[in-house]
Chains A and B, each alone.
Chain A
Amino acid sequence: MKEKNKDNFGISFFTKFIEMIFWFITISAAIFLNLSNQVFQGPQKLSYLFLFLSAVIIILLVRGIRLVKTNSRKIVFASSLSASVLLPLLLLDTAAGKMVIFYYLPTVIAILLTSLVMMDVKIYYIFIVGLCIFFLGDAFMGTRVTPAGQLKYPLMFMGTFSLTLLIMFTYYLYAKERIIRARLNALTERLKTIDRLKSDFVTNVSHELRTPLTSIRNAAVLLKTKTGNKDAFISVTEEELLEIIVTNSDRQSRLIDTLLDLAKIEKGRLSMGRALANVGNIAMEAMKSLVIQAHKNNVELVHDVQPDLPNIYVSADQIIEVFTNLIDNAIKYNKKGGKVIVHVKVAEGCIESVVEDTGIGILAENVDKLFEKFKRFNDDIENKDRKKGTGLGLVIAKEIVQMHGGKISVESKIGEGTKVRFTLPAGLRKKDQELLKNEE
């Protein structure tokens, strides 16, 4: 849903076309009636004609533009243009003698006031509606300027004028309701999407939990069969089966940890025991724990850590998780024989870390979506290069970095690789200083 184009909600091409014809007829009628009424003579009649013709042209122009492409900036431009054309014309009339400005004044004030009240409806519309009805009423009821220059407003005219306001207000209510309905629809759509993402999330988490369990169960049953019946034809050793059980239980417990972390983050109480630590060492530690996985995927882990990095206050457990998540992703989404390079260096009052891979890369439009929870699940089975994982690693990494007062960003080129950069400020935030003081 494009919320920017509020005017465009629920207005079809056909409606616009009908509207255009309607305005054309109304204004033509107003001109005709006004002119035939011969309120003014000679050059004033011409200026009247000019005024209406310019209004018609502007309306047609604006509607025409809107028909081609709805763009609110163009509407604003057209509105200001019409105002700048109409206003001098009014003044021109006044200059022609007869203090006609007073003749228009109530309308202009009423229109401006109503427009102010109805800020969220197109002011341009109200202006035109008001003007049209005023002129129609004027033509029928005949406001007269006496030879002495005084204005006479007959009762009927005042009635018409009230009607103008009433109609404008009705239009306002109608437009407002339409906007509200459109917003409500957009909101419902959004909620539906969130709901779908959540249910996908549950489906996928349960899938991810069942998968290692299946391996464990299969291996355990095989092991049982093998030990119970020596003659059974089972072409696998006990060691291999035990290995399957161990790796899959690890995988399962890692998944559960991730889910619990996420739940903790949701409640905003991820424990924050901070102490002075060297981010470089933390990065090395994370890399060490992933060496086997990198080897399995035939990916080379390279470190580029600046020596003698200053120690900063961080929660080492959390930062190691950030590194682990990022490096884990970098390995997973890498090419065979690719590289993962971890840079850590000092940069402008903070420690900057970059996890760089030589993998498949991410489309630019998807980069922002990376940090959205549940995002990975959106592609689900449609995604041809589906990878294993919960898709929560980056969400958690972002939360942790932000809690440390740092920033995280992703740059990526398709086919070349992805760089995830995050900074950790060297200084302590006020809140942290207080926390440390309390601890002392």
Chain B
Amino acid sequence: MKNKRILLIEDEPDILKTTAIFLQAEGFEVLTAVDGMEGLEKARTQGPDLIIMDIMLPKLDGYKLCRMLKFDEKYKNIPIVFFTARAQAQDEELGREVCADAYIKKPTDPKLLIEKVKELLGKQKC
């Protein structure tokens, strides 16, 4: 799991900070972005191994961002995890429709998020 780059897109500074620390504590390299456009740019240029994103992001929302990446040959293999406070069933459904690999509702035990991340990165190896 060492040296894996994770892109974290989150507009809420406190959540961004704490989640990044969790990921760093697990030995991941964390890239951060505070809005959808920045996230898209970093996803395209920095080549992350996995992306964790919020849905309600300024400039470009998570669903659109996810769709743009998942329907692009170059980036469709990067696993995407939605980490969001939108907890309704239809939101999750929408998440599946844009081909996100996981949907985790806030607030949650950070360990769950880490586990999911590891699981997705493990799958990717095979």
List residues of chain A with CB within 8 A of the CB of B2. Answer: none
Distance from B63 Cβ to chain A, minimum over Cβ atoms (Å) = 7
Task: Flag whether B4 is at the interface (Cβ < 8 A).
Answer: no
Q: Please give the number of chain A residues whose Cβ is less than 8 angstroms from any Cβ of chain B in the complex.
A: 32
Task: Flag whether A215 is at the interface (Cβ < 8 A).
Answer: yes
Contact B87 A222 (CB under 8 A): no
CA distance A207 to B22 in the complex (A): 22
Interface stretch of the complex, out of B38-46, B71-79, B105-113, B117-125? B105-113
Contact B14 A206 (CB under 8 A): no
Contact B17 A236 (CB under 8 A): yes
Closest 3 pairs (CB-CB, A-B): A218-B18, A210-B85, A215-B14
Contact A222 B14 (CB under 8 A): no
Task: Flag whether B56 is at the interface (Cβ < 8 A).
Answer: yes
**A residues within 8 Å of B by Cβ?**
203, 206-208, 210-219, 221-222, 225, 232-236, 241, 244, 247-248, 380-382, 384-386
Task: Flag whether B67 is at the interface (Cβ < 8 A).
Answer: no
Q: Nearest chain-B residue to A244 (Cβ)?
A: B14
Secondary structure dominating the interface of A: helix
Taking A210-B85, A218-B15, A244-B17 as known contacts, 10 extra A-B pairs with beta carbons closer than 8 A to each other, sorted by chain A number, are: A210-B87, A215-B15, A217-B110, A244-B18, A380-B56, A381-B55, A381-B61, A382-B61, A384-B58, A386-B56
CA distance A210 to B86 in the complex (A): 9
CA distance A277 to B17 in the complex (A): 44
Interface string of B74-94 (1 = CB under 8 A from A): 000000000001111001000
Contact A234 B25 (CB under 8 A): yes
With A215-B12, A234-B21 as contacts: A385 and B109 at CB distance below 8 Å: no
CA distance A325 to B59 in the complex (A): 25
Contact A233 B25 (CB under 8 A): yes
Distance from B22 Cβ to chain A, minimum over Cβ atoms (Å) = 7
CA distance A211 to B88 in the complex (A): 15
Contact B59 A384 (CB under 8 A): yes
Distance from B76 Cβ to chain A, minimum over Cβ atoms (Å) = 23
CA distance A212 to B13 in the complex (A): 11
Distance from B111 Cβ to chain A, minimum over Cβ atoms (Å) = 8
